[in-house]
Structure 1
Amino acid sequence: MKYILFIIITLTAIFSFSQDKEKEALLAAKKANNYVYEGNNLINEDDFVSAEKEYRKAISEQGTTVAGIYNLGNSYIKKGSYEEALYRLDQAAKIATSKVEKHKAYHNIGNVLMENKKCKEAVEAYKNALRNDPSDEETRYNLGLAKICAEQQKDKEDDKKDDKDKDKKDDKKDQEKKEGDDKKDQDQKDKGDQDKKEGDDKKDDKGKPKDEKNDKGKGDEKEKQQPPQPRPGQMSPQQVKSLLEAMNNQEQKVQEKVNAEKQKGYKIKTEKDW
C-alpha cells in the first residue's frame, strides 16, 4: 500500500508540475503576443526605436515567438538596417512551423537581398517562398525580376573578367616589348664596347693609330729585295738563261753547217723521219 501511495503522490506531483509549466508557457506566450501587438502599433506610428524594444521583450518572454522575430526583422527593413533584418528573418524562417510563416519570411528575405543587389541569392529566397506557397503571384513576379537582375550581373561579371584578362595580356605584351627593347639596347651597347675595344687594339702605347699600311709596305719591300725562290722541280731563272744561250749556240753551229753543205751542192733534210 505504501508503494502504491508513493506512486500516486509522484504522479500527482508530476502532473501538477506539468500543469504549472504549461501555465507558465501560456502566460509567456500571452505576454509575448502583447509585446508584439504593442510593437506593431508603434511601427504604424513610425516609432521604430520603441517598436524594436517591444519586439525584443516579446522574444525575451518567448524565444520561439515567430511573430516577434519576424516583425523585428521587418522593423529593421524599414530602418534600412538590412544585415540585422536578414539575420532576424532567417531566424524566423528556421523556427517557423507553418508554411505560411516560412513563405512570408523567405519572401521578405528575397526583398532584402534585392535591395542589397544580391540578385542571385534573392532568386533562391523567392524559390523557397514559392515552395511553401506556390500560389503567391507577387513572389513569382519578384522571382522573375530577380532572375533578370542575376543574369545582368553575370554578364557584367563576365565582361569585367574579359577586360581583366585583356589587361593581363596587354601587360604581358608590354613586358615582352620592354624586355626586347632592353635586350636590343644591351646588344647595341655590347657592340659599341666591342668596336671601341677593337679600335683601342689598333692604337700604339701612346694612343696613336698604328700605321698598318706602312708596315705592310715595308714587308712588301723586303719581299722585293729577296730573290724569288724556285719551287721544287722548277729551274731557276739563271738555269733558264744558261739553257737558252746553249740552244742559241747550237742553232748557230747548225746554221753554219747547212750553209757549208749548200756550197757543196748537197740537199740537206730538215725534217726528221717518223
Structure 2
Amino acid sequence: MMKNLKFYTLFISLAFILFGLTAQAQNERKFVRQGNKLYEQALADTTKQDTASYNKAEIAYRRAIEKRPDDLKWNFNLGDALYKQQKFDQAQSTFEDIAQKSTDKAEKARAYHNIGNSLLMQKKLDESIEAYKEALRNNPADLDSKYNLLYAMNLKKQQEQQQKNQDKNQDQNKDQDKNKDQNKDQQDQNKDQNKDQNKDQNKDQQDQNKNQDQQNKDQQKKDQQNQNKDQQQNQQQQQQQQKISKENAERLLQALQNDEEKIQEKVKKAQAAKAQQRQTDKDW
C-alpha cells in the first residue's frame, strides 16, 4: 500500500533560467538537466526500481548544488532522488531544510508532504501524521496531503489494534501461565498429600502388621503353653494309670497267693484226712 502514497516531484525547466547568466551558471544548469533526465528515465521504467539511475541523478544534483547550495528547487530534486533510493532519513533531512528556509506556503506544503512520506516509510507514524497536518496548515486545499494523512491515521489505528490484540494475547498467556502454575502447585500439593497419606497408610499398615505379629506370637505362646499343659496332664494321667495298674497287679498277685495258700491248705487237709483213713483201714 505504500506505493499508493502521493509524492511531489519538482524539476527545473528552462523557463526558470534567466538570461544573462555566466558560463558557470550554464555548467550548473547542465548538471541539473542531466539529473532531471536520469530521474525521468528511472521514473518511466515501472518494471523495476532503477536505483542506479536515481543515484546518478543524485550525483548530478549535488554537483549543481555545490555551486548554488541555497537553490531550494535543486535541493527539492535532490530530496526526490534520495527518497527514490530509499534513503528516507537523508530525504527527510533535505526536505526539512527546505521547509525551514522557504517563505512560499505552497513550497513549504510540498516539503512537509514529502517529510511525512519519508517519516512514514521509516514507520514513524505519529511524526508523519504531524508532518501531513503541517502541510495542510500551509495549503488546506492539498488533496494529496489529506489522502496521505488519512492513510497514516488508518495505519496507526491498525497498529494500535494489533498492539491491543497482542497485549490481550499476552494477558491471556499470563493467565494461562498463572493457571499452569496453580495447577502445578495443586499437583504438587496433591502429590505431597498423597505422599503423606501413603506414609500414614504405610505406618498404619506397619503398626497393624506389628500388632498382628505380636498377636500371632502371643497366640503361639499361648498355644505352646496349652500344649505343654496338655502334655503334662497326659504324663500325669499316664503316671497315675501306671501306678493304678501296678497296685492292681500287686493286689491280684496277693489275691492269687492267698488263693494258692488256701488251696494248698485244703490239699494238705485232704491229704491228712486221706492218710488217717488209710491208717484206720490197716487197724481193721
TM-score scaled by structure 1?
Answer: 0.56
Counterpart selection for 1:140 from 146, 149, 160: 146
Render the CA deviation track for 1:122-177: whole Å, top value 9, x for unaligned. Answer: 32111011111122222223323332332232222222222221221121111111
Inter-partner Cα distance in structure 2 for 1:177 and 1:27: 86
CA contact (8 A) 2:38 2:57 kept: yes
1:118-157 map, 5 Å:
118-157=124-163
Render the CA deviation track for 1:43-101: whole Å, top value 9, x for unaligned. Answer: 12322122111222234344444333322221122233334333333343334343233
Matched, 1:191 2:197: yes
Larger radius of gyration: 2
Inter-partner Cα distance in structure 1 for 2:213 and 2:99: 98
Which AA in structure 1 matches 2:158? Q
| Other-structure match for 1:241 | none
* Bigger helix fraction: 2
1:118 positional shift: 4.6
CA contact (8 A) 1:29 1:62 kept: no
| Other-structure match for 2:35 | 39
Helix, strand or coil: the match of 1:134?
coil
Q: What RMSD in Å do the two structures reach over aligned CA positions?
A: 3.4
1:28 positional shift: 9.0
Matched, 1:76 2:82: yes
Percent of aligned positions with the same letter in both sequences? Answer: 32
Query: Is the alpha carbon distance of 1:213 and 1:27 closer, same or farther for their aligned partners in structure 2, counting shifts above 3 Å?
Result: farther
Helix, strand or coil: the match of 1:80?
coil
TM-score scaled by structure 2?
Answer: 0.55
CA contact (8 A) 1:70 1:88 kept: yes
User: How many residues of Structure 1 are paired with residues of Structure 2 in the alignment?
Assistant: 189
Query: Is the alpha carbon distance of 1:189 and 1:98 closer, same or farther for their aligned partners in structure 2, counting shifts above 3 Å?
Result: same
1:1-274 map, 5 Å:
35-46=31-42, 47-115=53-121, 118-201=124-207, 209-211=213-215
Inter-partner Cα distance in structure 2 for 1:58 and 1:42: 14
Inter-partner Cα distance in structure 2 for 1:127 and 1:160: 29
